[in-house]
Structure formats: structure tokens, C-alpha cells
Structure 1
Amino acid sequence: MSEFFQEAPGLKNQYTEDRLLQAYLHWRIPAMVVSNMTAHLTHLGQRAATDMLAWADEAEKNPPKHIPYDPWGKRIDHIETCNGWKQLEGVAAEEGLIAAGYERKFDEYSRIYQMALLYLYHPSSAIYSCPLAMTDGATRAIELYGDDYLKNKAYRHLTSRDPKNFWTSGQWMTERTGGSDVSGTSTIAKKVGDHYELHGTKWFTSATTSQMAMTLARIEGADKGSRGLSLFYLELRNDKNELNKIMVHRLKDKLGTKSLPTAELSLQGTPARLVGGEGGGVKKIASLFNITRVYNSVCALSHMRRGLALAKDYSQKREAFGRKIIDHPLHVETMMDLYVDYAASFHLVMRAVELLGKEECGKATEEESALLRLLTPVIKLFSAKKCMSVTSEVMEVFGGAGYVEDTGMPRMLRDAQVFPIWEGTTNVLSLDILRAIEKENAFKPFMKELGHRLQGIMKEPMAGQQLKGEVQAIEKSLKDLESYFHKIASGGTGGLEDLQTSARYFAFSVGNIFAATLMTEFALHTKDLRDIETARRWCTRNTLFEVPETSQSHRFSNAEIIKGL
């Protein structure tokens, strides 16, 4: 009797194997522009399935180490990373993961191009995409608010394609008082001559091996709360390559993202440069974390895609009950449901990327900018939650092997959990959506865009033939969402509290309906039966609009229930 060994899943070129990405690019970008992008995307798609995988595996097996002292007892706080981690940094520079967004070679399509590169890079990067997210955010903040010194030094390093000159940046906001609520920031900036010195503790700092960081601090004598915060730039090391009065207390022992160095540290008089003048730090750093939220969304999206790619390949190799599992109807049905969640996230995220590219090139209208402000938290919370559920289901495809560490699947699940937490939790983002609506009247351009898209959809003959019921479901859900919003918004203080209570449901309803519209529009463009079925499933499988009735008495009873747990 021959001994059986299960063949492991494998990967092919991650660009040429991705039908949705290719079809989307040809839908939204002029043919000549796509033609100029294709060779590079194909090249990186191949690297994502070959040399990058080996380096990522090395980085995962050799996590960073904190070395507080040298052999003679001198405090050095060196964070040691392996060769694989350094090689992945080199890939990011060589392939222009940051540069592509700022060279703007493809004008307003440059962000789409860059995020397509990130989408291919992330799943094979051992989460090096995290330092890149903060690097891109810092680059944008310097582009908007930096002085000549920062633009001539830091900006040039951040956008370099030369691995020897390329810099990454940290984003140091989180203190012991909390994460997203930065009003309690206790780091103090003291003016010393022509610069500032920072004193305080940062409880959670990713990309701690970067050359620079952007951080919030309160200038001595400034107002309390968020209003008194300013944005600062600091370099981690001095001319002697010693830490700039920074003490690293420890590396964080996290659930996932093990290869990524994340530290707790203190600033002990660290030299820093004020960015964009005193005050307004929260507004300025918002330009940074708006970029990192887009990164989080694209990475969650590509995390799902990698899981599906592995599951598809394994399904064609694994036999159960006398046939390949790809031939079992229930398995196919399950995989289709996962693909639909991924596709909905894809279209939603990429629409925000389109708007970001237009805004940065000065081609977005005021309404489009307001819509981007609304969509940014929507895509982050939406894609993150879908990523968690899809990744969990993908693990089941591998059965018991999916629960074994050295298959890599448990790591995928642990890493997926970070997406709903980084850059704002689901509740924080849901309330941020309400702020976008309140401060920028963003609900109006949302309704206008979807109304315009639905009008275009109804002009397509196929809409009435194959997707009539789905279009009607979108129209009804959109009408219900609008009625709900105006009803609640007109309710005064009580209405505002009701809207806050149901903010998560409202946020997901916005995402569900927008995704349904984009998927339907895409299907009518490609006329591909696979895309038509995907849109149909999304519209019929989900309740696109679902917001529970809330009232003050219900909130009181719910609070009492929770307190009594």
C-alpha cells in the first residue's frame, strides 16, 4: 500500500490569476494607461508568488528582538530584524510602493496603480505593508503641511526608489490613556532654541525601526484636550546612529503581526520639528490616518484574496468522499459566498481609491471630496469585518490542517484580526461617519452619486432582463436608508442619540447599498455571467438596509442588561 501525503496549496502569478482586478482596471482606466501599468503589475504579481514568499516566511519565523544593552552594559535599545524583513523593505522601494503614489505618472489614476501594487505586495510581505501605510501617510502630511526642510529631506527619502536612500516612517499617537481618543495625550513639547524637545511615553508604536516618525504632542502652556495638540516630526537616530533620546521599554507580544516590530517607548527630550505651525495637530494628522485607513482597507481586501486563492488551489487537489472537494456542490456554494463578500469589499474600496486619486490631483469636485470623507471610514470598517469572516471560513476549507501552525493558516487568521482594530475600531469609525455627515454634509453627495449610478444602470437593457429584481432591491433600500436618516436627523437631541446608537447598522447599510450599486454597474459593463451572478447574490443574500428601531427607553433597558451581565 502506498503512503498518502496531501499536496499543499500553491500560488501562481497573483496578477494574471486575478480576473476581477484586471477587469476592474480595464473598466475604470483608459486602455492606454492600463497598458502602461500591466508589465509592472505582472512582474510584481510573479514576485508575490516567488521570492517574496520566501522572505516573508523567514520574517515570520524570525520575529524582531529587543536588545536593550550592548555587551558592556551600555543602553542601546537595538531592535534586531532578520534579512527577510530587510529584503521586503527593499522590494517596497524598488517596486515604488510609495513613489508610485507621488510621482503621479498616471495623473488621477496613480493612486489606483499604487494600490494595485499594494494589493499584490501585502499578502506576501509579512505585514511590511504596515510601515508602508504610515510612510505614505507621513509623505502626504509633509506634502500638505511640511516646510522646505521637510520637503527637501524627509519627503525625498520617503518617495525614493533606491533601497539605500528609502526611509519609512512611524505614526506615534497611542498613549496609555487610549488609542483613537487622543485628547488625553500627555507628551509635552518644550521649546529649546530653534527646535522642540519631546517628553512622554508612547504605549504602542509600530514601525519602530523606521528612520523617522510623526507624532502628536502638547506644547507647554497649550490648551488641554485635542485643541492644544500639535504635529511633530522626529528622526529616531542622530549622526552617530544612536537613538535620539528614545528609550525602548519592550516589544509588544501581540496576537498576530509577529514579524512587525511594535514597541512601547519613552521620549526623553527627543529633538523634534513642528509641522505646519502650532495647534491643529489632530486635523493635520488626519491627513495621515486617512491614508492609513485606505491602506488598511486594501490590505484587508488582498488578505481575503490570498485566502481565496489558496482555498481554490487546495480545492482542486484535496479529495474527500471519492472526489475533489471543488466538485462538491456545497463546497462550491460556500466558496461563492466568500467570493461575493470579497467582491463587494473590492468595489467599495476601489471607489474610494479612485476619489483619493482625483482629490490629490485637484480633479475632485467638492461633492466628491465630501463623499471620500464619508467613504474612508466606511471602507475601513466594512473590509475589515469581511476579512475576518472570510479568513475564518477559508481555514475550514483546509480542515484540521488549517488549524496547524506550520500550514500558515492560523497566522492568516491572527493577522486578519488586526484589521478591525488598527486605524480605528468599528464603533469609532461608525461615529466618524456621522461626523462626516454633520460637518461636511456628506450624506447628500452619497445619495446623489448612487442616484446617478442607478439612472445609468436602468438605461442598460440587461438591467431589466437579468438584474431587474436586484436593481429594485437597491432602489428600495436606498429609499429606506434616506427616509430613516431624515426621520432620525429631524428628531433633535433624541434623534442624534438614536443615530449614534444605531451607527454601526447605519454604516454597514451605507456599505451594503453602495457595494450593491457598484457590483451591479460592473456586471452590466462586463456582461460576464460570473459578475452578474455575483451581483445577484449580493443583492438577494443580504438585507441591504437594516437598522433597528431605537428609543431612549430601549437604550436604558439595554444598558441595564449589560451592566447586569
Structure 2
Amino acid sequence: MEEPISSDNPYSSDPVLPSLIKRLFPRSIRQEIEDDLTRLGNVLVDEIRPLSPLVHPASLVQYDQWGRRVDALHTSEGWRELEKFAIKEGYVAIAYERKYREFSRIHMFAKTMVMTGDCHVLMCPMGMTDGATRILELCGTDLMKQQVLPKLMSRDPSSAYLSGQWMTERPGGSDLSRTETFAVPANRVESDLGTPYILEGFKWFSSAAEGNMTMALARTGELSQGARGLSLFLVPLRLPPYSSPLSNGVQMHRLKNKVGTHGVPTAELSLNSTRGWLIGPVNQGIKTIAPVLNITRIHSAIHLVGSLQRCVAIARSYATVRSVNGGTTLLRDVPLHMASIAEASLLYRALVHVTFGAIELLGKSEVGAASADEEARLRLLTPTIKAYASQKACPAMEEMMGALGGLGYMEEVGIGRRVRCMRTLSYHSSSSCRFRLIRDSMVERIWEGTVNILSLDLIRATKEQKTVDSFWAKSLITNAAPQFSGRALSTLRGALEKSRLLNYFASIACALYLLEHAQWSAGNHEPTRDIDAEAFRRWVEEGDLQMNEQAIAVAMKDGGLRVNLNLEMVYGPEPPFSSRL
């Protein structure tokens, strides 16, 4: 019989987050934040983790017994309970109540990260609701702010609104310039919350299909205008006067059969004379929706970091109870085994620090406290953290799955083999949770922009030298304490001169945030100061920075010839088209 693993509080037992919270929050409010996160961790273990077996894929009933089209979406009991829980916890509300001003964003995302491992990609509908809230706060009409905004910010599950985000269409995918859904002006009615339009079209990948409303892009200009001819609309679905299961001319054709994220209902939808209200100026939909993309990209990064946190925690706990060598040695005492967990832990540490670096800047930006340099740094970091985490987190999670041996690969009873929890002596899907987390996390390479799309976004952001100069790296390195003046700092200084490729820039940003935290830790004589310094050294001298140096050298060598050889490697020596540039 297997030894039960411990099910520790995901906040207080974490080796990284409590120290970061201590650094980022002023002493006057820190205790409140720490108490809230500790309480949340206990609730997750005792009340939320047992809900996992109750989360199942949504189902769609398109017709009733009389043959009438109803498009009734049914989500599982577990999913509904998770949504209620998140709303009560202020998943969206905290950021907009701004009880702690710019620190409210850090508080909200710290809770989000701690919740991620047990909440089945709840960040998807909640993240889009977060983005919609910011859009209405910035660009909504007075009536939208009076009637809809309070619902998006509500902590009452019985009245809170969820919002989707409908952009992806069949012709273009991430290429919004090929959007075919069009919108034409409509006559006003008494219930309108703004300038009314009628939308016609088809949205191919529509997450949060259970929402009350959505933010949708539609074409108000000519197709030849590409993305410059798009406008943004608030489209009501399940809010007055549209209160039936699905209405306002929206038809749900099918739910997507996805590799993961099974709890999230994602649909193919058609808009048929669907009424929507313009948000922001006509033909400036991309600019208007940009805050949604920035926020959801950070949610995406946090989902990856939180998933990796859970995986590392399970592997760490398993190593304390699993014995080998005839039962004489625990895995924690096997150096090779612990080396692999330490490698994943280093990546987790780096991703936590760089992601919360961006979150800290977002909080400042939203309350008008960010300097011009900080705004520019946020612009650089937002696509970077999402793309980098999406590439690095899943392989590390797979390593942690391997750290459990055959147990890590088991998936029974729908979601995986259940592991007895020492705290309650009940069964939770801990190991299977890891496997689910891998499947659910894989989507982040695609959602809110593929890695290539985000790389181009970073290149656009670095075209202006002042944006690059805004990165605080040089001053941080110049003012580094004497104990950090060795090889690692010298390597980092040299890397800054060629940092415009996304992965390289991301690994440098991780190093800088690890250095910033290590210096704070040393200066305040924190108990973690030695490991904080070692994390910075390892990251620069042994980690991703060195690998990216080699990758850049390979990519820069005979670039044109390499492009042609890539085509021939994929298609053969005689591709069905000209491979010569």
C-alpha cells in the first residue's frame, strides 16, 4: 500500500511566493494579504480540491422535445461551484475595488496563482471577464458603467456577470485582419446601452460560452482595410432583455472537442441579426480591445506558473514518502532525483518573479502611478512572459510527472488515479491533477497569441530605442551589491547587448528579477538569502541564458541559406513550390 502524500497549504508551503509577497507589499498591508492567502490555501485543500471529480465537460442541447431551437448549455456541478467560489473570493473584483491601490493587482494575481492548481482553468472565463471589466472602465458608455460594470465586479454569484471574448474566425485564426463578421448601424430602442449595431457572422472559437455577455470584434469598414476596419462591441447573451438560455440571435452549433480545458465550454457560434453596442471609436476595435489582450495574456502566464507550482508541490511531497532501494531510502535522499526537481523549481522561481514583475507594473499602470519607463517595460514584458511560460512550463510539468514514476502517468476514473491525502485520509485526484494540468496548460501556446505572434509583438515594441532603454537592467546591474559582482553578473551584462529575440529577452528578464529579489533578500538578511543568490547564479551560469546564447549563434549563421534548408528539411529536396528566396 502506498504511503499517503501530504496536502499542504499551496501558499504557506510554497518556497517562493511568501518571500515575494513580503518584498512587494508595504508593511502596513502585508499581514492582511498574507492572512488572506493562508486562509485561501486552507479552503482550497479542505473544500475545493474535493470538487475535482465533479468537474466534467459541458453539454449542449440544441433542440427541445418540440423541435424548437433552444441551444441550452449545461455545465457540470463542479464547474458551477468553482465559478461561485471564484466570484465570492473576488477573482475579478479585487483588482477594481482597489482597496490596496496599485497593490490590488498583485493581491488578485497571487490568489489566482494559488487557486490555479485546483480550479480547472477557471482563469479562462474569469480572465476574460477581468479584461471586459477593464474595457468598460476605460471605454464604456455611461449606461454600460452604470448597469453592466457593477455586475462584472460583483462578489455575489447570484447576480455577477461573466463575459466572453469572441475574436477568432475560420479564415484568419490569430490574424484578425481577415475577420468576416460584419456590423451595420441599427435603430435605437429604449434598452440600448450605447450606439446599437446588428452583427452577422461566425465565431469559430468562443470561450466562456456560458457567459452573460461577450466582447466581440466585427467589421465596420471594408475588408480591404484589414484590422483597421474592425470595431469592438458589447454583445448581450443572458442579460436583460435577453434572458432565455441563449438568445439575441446567437446560435451555438457545437462545443469544441479539445485536448484539454474540458471544464471550459468553448463553442462555435453564429451571429444572426445579433444586437450589440459599440465600445470605443468606430474602426478602432483593435486599439480598444488591447487592454483585454494584455490582461488575458497575464492570466495565461499565471495559469502556467500556477500549474507548474502544483506539479512541483506534488513531486516534492511524493519524494518525502516514496522509498526505494528495498524501502531503505526516500526519494528526497536520492541526489539525482532531487536534481531534476530542483531544476523545475528553479524555472518555477524564475517564472514567478518575472510574471509578478509585470503584474506589479500593471497595477501601477491602472492607477496612473507608473512612470513612462515603467509603462514601456510593461509593454515589453506582457507578450514575453506569456510566450516564454507557454514554452517552458509544460516540459517541466512532464518532468514532474516522471518524478512520480508510473503513478504520475495513471489516469483512471475519468481524470486519473487518486492519491490518499494525509491531511484528511480521503482521496483526491492529486497525481491525476498533474496530468490534467499538463493537458490544460498546452493550450497556452495558442490562446491569446501563438509564440510567433507574440515574438512579432515584442519586435514591434523594441523598434523604438527609448522603449528598450526603459528596461531598468543597466541601472540594476550597475548598482548591484559587491557579492553579486562575479561571473553571473558579467554574463548578464554582455547578454543585454543582444536581447531582442523573445526567448533570450525573457531569460534575461528572469535573471534581472531574480537578481533584484536576491539583492533585497541579502540586504534585509532574509532566511532565504543564500538560496535566492544561488537561484540567480544558477539561472545565469547554468540555465536558459547559456542555451539561448548558443541558439542565437546558430540562428544568425548563414541565415538565408538556413531558411531554404529548413524548407527542404520539411518538404524534401524538391518541394512542391520554389524554396529559393
When normalised by structure 2's length, the TM-score is 0.88
Q: String of CA shifts for 1:372-405, please: whole Å, max 9, x gaps.
A: 1111000001111121111110110111111111
2:353, 2:514 within 8 Å by CA — same for their partners in 1? yes
How far apart are residue 11 of structure 1 and its match?
2.0
> Which of the residues 498, 509, 514 maps onto 1:514?
509
1:133, 1:291 within 8 Å by CA — same for their partners in 2? yes
Please give the alpha-carbon distance, in whole angstroms, between the structure 1 residues aligned to 2:303 and 2:519: 27
Which residue does 1:496 correspond to in 2? none
Please give the alpha-carbon distance, in whole angstroms, between the structure 2 residues aligned to 1:382 and 1:220: 35
Listed as ranges, the matches of 1:105-504 within 5 Å are 105-194=99-188, 195-219=196-220, 224-237=225-238, 238-241=241-244, 242-321=246-325, 322-405=328-411, 406-407=416-417, 408=432, 409-438=434-463, 441-446=466-471, 449-457=472-480, 460-464=481-485, 468-479=486-497, 481=498
1:108, 1:357 within 8 Å by CA — same for their partners in 2? yes
Amino acid at match of 2:68: K
Q: 1:536 to 1:375 in 2, by over 3 A?
A: same
How far apart are residue 294 of structure 1 and its match?
0.5
Aligned pair 1:28/2:24, yes or no?
yes
Which residue does 2:97 correspond to in 1? 103
Which residue does 1:538 correspond to in 2? 539
2:117, 2:437 within 8 Å by CA — same for their partners in 1? no
Q: Which ranges in structure 2 are unaligned for 5 or more consecutive residues?
A: 189-195, 418-431, 523-528, 574-581
Amino acid at match of 1:178: G
Please give the alpha-carbon distance, in whole angstroms, between the structure 2 residues aligned to 1:71 and 1:318: 55
Equivalent pairs: percent with the same residue? 36
Which residue does 2:570 correspond to in 1? 562
Q: 1:440 to 1:53 in 2, by over 3 A?
A: farther
Please give the alpha-carbon distance, in whole angstroms, between the structure 2 residues aligned to 1:536 and 1:50: 38
1:345, 1:386 within 8 Å by CA — same for their partners in 2? no
1:174, 1:180 within 8 Å by CA — same for their partners in 2? yes
Please give the alpha-carbon distance, in whole angstroms, between the structure 2 residues aligned to 1:154 and 1:440: 41
1:190, 1:220 within 8 Å by CA — same for their partners in 2? no
Please give the alpha-carbon distance, in whole angstroms, between the structure 2 residues aligned to 1:403 and 1:244: 45
Q: 1:222 to 1:385 in 2, by over 3 A?
A: closer
> Which of the residues 552, 556, 561 maps onto 2:560?
552
Amino acid at match of 1:508: N
Greater CA drift, 32-41 or 343-352 = 32-41
Aligned pair 1:41/2:41, yes or no?
no
1:187, 1:199 within 8 Å by CA — same for their partners in 2? yes
Please give the alpha-carbon distance, in whole angstroms, between the structure 2 residues aligned to 1:23 and 1:324: 28
Amino acid at match of 1:203: W
How far apart are residue 97 of structure 1 and its match?
0.9
Please give the alpha-carbon distance, in whole angstroms, between the structure 2 residues aligned to 1:388 and 1:441: 34
When normalised by structure 1's length, the TM-score is 0.90
1:170 aligned counterpart, secondary structure: strand
Please give the alpha-carbon distance, in whole angstroms, between the structure 2 residues aligned to 1:218 and 1:239: 23
Greater CA drift, 267-276 or 469-478 = 469-478
Please give the alpha-carbon distance, in whole angstroms, between the structure 2 residues aligned to 1:10 and 1:87: 25
1:282 aligned counterpart, secondary structure: helix
Q: 1:171 to 1:441 in 2, by over 3 A?
A: farther
Please give the alpha-carbon distance, in whole angstroms, between the structure 2 residues aligned to 1:385 and 1:561: 23
Please give the alpha-carbon distance, in whole angstroms, between the structure 1 residues aligned to 2:278 and 2:338: 56
Amino acid at match of 1:325: L
How far apart are residue 366 of structure 1 and its match?
1.4
Please give the alpha-carbon distance, in whole angstroms, between the structure 2 residues aligned to 1:470 and 1:438: 28
Aligned pair 1:67/2:61, yes or no?
yes
1:33 aligned counterpart, secondary structure: helix
Moved beyond 4 Å, runs of 4+: 220-223
Q: String of CA shifts for 1:473-526, please: whole Å, max 9, x gaps.
A: 2112223x16xx6xxxxxxxxxxxxxxxxxxxx111111112112212312322
Q: String of CA shifts for 1:431-457, please: whole Å, max 9, x gaps.
A: 1100111268422212xx001111221
Q: String of CA shifts for 1:95-151, please: whole Å, max 9, x gaps.
A: 111010011111111111111011112211111111011001111111111111111
1:163 aligned counterpart, secondary structure: coil
Q: String of CA shifts for 1:21-56, please: whole Å, max 9, x gaps.
A: 111111122111212212211111112222111223
Please give the alpha-carbon distance, in whole angstroms, between the structure 1 residues aligned to 2:479 and 2:73: 55
Q: String of CA shifts for 1:123-181, please: whole Å, max 9, x gaps.
A: 11111111011001111111111111111122111101111121111000000013221
How far apart are residue 212 of structure 1 and its match?
0.5
Please give the alpha-carbon distance, in whole angstroms, between the structure 1 residues aligned to 2:35 and 2:140: 34
Greater CA drift, 524-533 or 241-250 = 524-533
Please give the alpha-carbon distance, in whole angstroms, between the structure 2 residues aligned to 1:43 and 1:157: 26
Aligned pair 1:53/2:49, yes or no?
yes
How far apart are residue 63 of structure 1 and its match?
1.5
Amino acid at match of 2:209: T
Aligned pair 1:12/2:8, yes or no?
yes
Amino acid at match of 1:429: L
1:78 aligned counterpart, secondary structure: strand
The two structures, once aligned, show a CA RMSD in angstroms of 1.7
1:101, 1:111 within 8 Å by CA — same for their partners in 2? yes
Please give the alpha-carbon distance, in whole angstroms, between the structure 1 residues aligned to 2:30 and 2:229: 46
Greater CA drift, 167-176 or 538-547 = 538-547
Q: String of CA shifts for 1:309-338, please: whole Å, max 9, x gaps.
A: 111111111112231111101011111101
2:105 aligned counterpart, secondary structure: helix
2:210 aligned counterpart, secondary structure: coil
1:325, 1:331 within 8 Å by CA — same for their partners in 2? yes
Please give the alpha-carbon distance, in whole angstroms, between the structure 2 residues aligned to 1:362 and 1:290: 16
Q: String of CA shifts for 1:230-283, please: whole Å, max 9, x gaps.
A: 000011134442422111111000000111101111011111000013111111
1:122, 1:129 within 8 Å by CA — same for their partners in 2? yes
Greater CA drift, 131-140 or 220-229 = 220-229
1:111, 1:356 within 8 Å by CA — same for their partners in 2? yes
Please give the alpha-carbon distance, in whole angstroms, between the structure 2 residues aligned to 1:440 and 1:215: 34
2:236, 2:242 within 8 Å by CA — same for their partners in 1? no
Please give the alpha-carbon distance, in whole angstroms, between the structure 1 residues aligned to 2:390 and 2:350: 12
1:125 aligned counterpart, secondary structure: coil
Please give the alpha-carbon distance, in whole angstroms, between the structure 1 residues aligned to 2:406 and 2:491: 40
Please give the alpha-carbon distance, in whole angstroms, between the structure 2 residues aligned to 1:13 and 1:410: 20
1:209 aligned counterpart, secondary structure: coil
Q: Which ranges in structure 1 are unaligned for 5 or more consecutive residues?
A: 486-505
